Amino acid sequence: AYFQQIQGRSALGAGLAVLPIGLGFFVGAPLSGRLVGRLGPRVPMVLGLGLCGAATLGLLRIGVGSSIGALWWNLALVGLGGGLSLTPMTAVAMAAVRAARAGMASAIHNSMRQVGQALGVAVLGSLVYSGVIGGQAGGDRLHDAAAAAFVDGLHRALAVSGGCLLVAAALAVALIPGGLLAHREVEPV
């Protein structure tokens, strides 16, 4: 919404502006798999969540007229952190159950991730739009006020999101055991 509604980019332009997130994820996801295999899930999970949280907080400098050049590093680091953290989250969920229940664990993990994403969009979206002035017709002054209110709301949403990611990294340090995960043997039926 920021790149289209505030900066006036086309859908293609907005998609290209957030491309660094996808590129970061493209790098982080396969790297995460290798790290989980060598170090266990805690290191890449903590690194990914911490990186994603710090990069999200780094986006707090965003303004109405921010250039993509000023933001692309943070966007790429958000993607990299997301890519690093996804595989270990799945590995921890799968290792927590017997092999016979792996399908259920995978389904529950995936469902909870999707519910969390939907709730995140709803809650953070309400923070973004909470101060926006209704309607943008009536001249540049009203549009400028609405854009400033949008960016203020975006700052609140980024602060909450970044803080939650850093708390999640701290919880991963405290709750996820270090080292490699034990593989569960399949129990005969």
Is residue 187 in some structural domain?
no
Provide the mean pLDDT of the chain: 88
Would you say residue 185 lies in a domain? Answer: no
Q: Whole domain around residue 111: which residue ranges?
A: 2-175
State pTM to two decimals.
0.85
- Across 83-92, 123-132, 164-173, the highest mean pLDDT is recorded for 164-173
Q: Give the tens place of pLDDT for each residue, 13-52.
A: 999 999 999 999 999 999 999 999 899 999 999 999 999 9
Q: Is residue 189 part of a domain?
A: no
**Does 7 reside within a domain?**
yes
180 assigned to some structural domain: no
From the list 6, 160, 11, 18, the residue with the least C-alpha distance to 78 is 18
The one-letter code for the residue type at 79 is G
Query: Would you say residue 112 lies in a domain?
Result: yes
Q: 134 or 142, which is more confident?
A: 134
Angle at 64 between CA 60 and CA 69, to 5 degrees: 70
CATH number of the domain residue 74 falls in: 1.20.1250.20
pLDDT at 154 over 50: yes
Specify whether the CB–CB gap between 160 and 125 falls below 8 A: no
Contact 48, 82 (CB under 8 A): yes
Report which of residues 32 and 138 the model is more confident about.
32
- Of 88, 93, 68, 97, the closest CA to residue 169 belongs to 88
Please give the pLDDT value at position 143. 79
- Split into its structural domains, the chain has a count of 1
Note whether residue 156 is domain-resident: yes
Res 54: pLDDT: 98
pLDDT at 1 over 60: yes
Q: Calculate the alpha carbon distances from 20 to 65, 69, 150, 185 in Å.
A: 19, 11, 22, 40
Residue 6 lies in a domain: yes
